């Protein structure tokens, strides 16, 4: 296990801080040693102090302690071991799906009817609400390109779960589908808590 620290050094050529794992204070840009740098603008990133650098292909501990962190410089992502799911996961980030109204259709996500993953992931939770006046419940689904992954129902226009474990493969096209029900739901908004997962 490495004992190096995570530093940021200001690269004048790239006009930004560049991160690097090093056992000594860096004096050159890790992206290109020919880049001009400002060696007076180097700092130790305290938030990464308990994180170990991870290189693709390296073995990980067989029985890690929950909360153990690994950082993948190739991806620029930090993975934390989730002992309840036995998975290495990134911190969750929200993906929002919305429509002015919906019935028998998928909600919009940034101008398209889904979110394209480029790495294996997991849905860790979802919150959804909307105005539905045609009954007390409305069936909804988490889908991959139209294929059902997980079903849930809005009750009185609301649903929330923070304990899901819906596994997603790389290239999943994540969708939120609203059933036809008895009529349209107005202003449905779904927020999905998504994490990428490390395949070891």
**Over the chain (200 residues), what is each successive 10-residue block's mean pLDDT?**
69 87 85 90 66 62 66 75 89 95 96 95 97 93 97 96 96 96 95 91
- Report pLDDT for 112: 94
Please report the pLDDT score of residue 40 as a whole number: 80
Query: Cα torsion at 172, 175, 181, 186 (round to 10°)?
Result: 180
If asked whether residues 107 and 184 sit together in one domain, one would say yes
* Listed residues 35, 66, 89: the one ending a domain: 89
- What CATH number is attached to the domain comprising 165? 2.60.120.40
The per-residue pLDDT for 2 is 45
Whether residue 192 is found in the same domain as residue 128: yes
What confidence score (pLDDT) does residue 61 get? Answer: 61
Claim to verify: residue 101 and residue 181 sit in the same structural domain: yes
Residue 58, C-beta contacts closer than 8 angstroms, at least 6 positions apart: none
Q: Are 45 and 104 in the same domain?
A: no
Residues ≥6 apart with Cβ < 8 Å to 2? 21, 52, 53
- Domain of 110 in residue numbering reads as 92-198
| CA gap 47, 55 in Å, rounded | 19
Pair 194, 97 in one domain? yes
Co-location of 19 and 52 in the same domain: yes
**Of 64, 89, 114, which marks where a domain is finished?**
89
């Amino acid at each position: 296990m490495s004992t190096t620290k995570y530093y940021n050094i200001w690269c004048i050529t790239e006009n930004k801080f560049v991160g690097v794992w090093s056992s000594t204070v860096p004096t050159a840009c890790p992206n290109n040693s020919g880049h001009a740098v400002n060696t007076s603008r180097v700092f130790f990133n305290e938030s990464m102090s308990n994180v170990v650098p991870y290189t693709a292909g390296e073995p990980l501990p067989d029985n890690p302690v929950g909360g153990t962190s690994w950082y993948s410089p190739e991806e620029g992502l930090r993975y934390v071991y989730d002992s309840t799911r036995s998975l290495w996961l990134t911190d969750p980030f929200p993906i929002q799906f919305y429509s002015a109204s919906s019935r028998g259709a998928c909600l919009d996500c940034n101008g398209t009817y889904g979110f394209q993953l480029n790495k294996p992931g997991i849905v860790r939770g979802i919150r959804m609400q909307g105005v539905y006046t045609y009954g007390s419940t409305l069936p909804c689904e988490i889908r991959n390109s139209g294929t059902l992954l997980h079903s849930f129902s809005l009750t009185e226009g609301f649903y929330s779960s923070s304990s899901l474990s819906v596994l997603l493969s790389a290239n999943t096209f994540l969708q939120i589908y609203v059933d036809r029900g008895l009529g349209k739901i107005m202003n449905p908004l779904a927020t999905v808590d998504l994490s990428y997962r490390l395949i070891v």
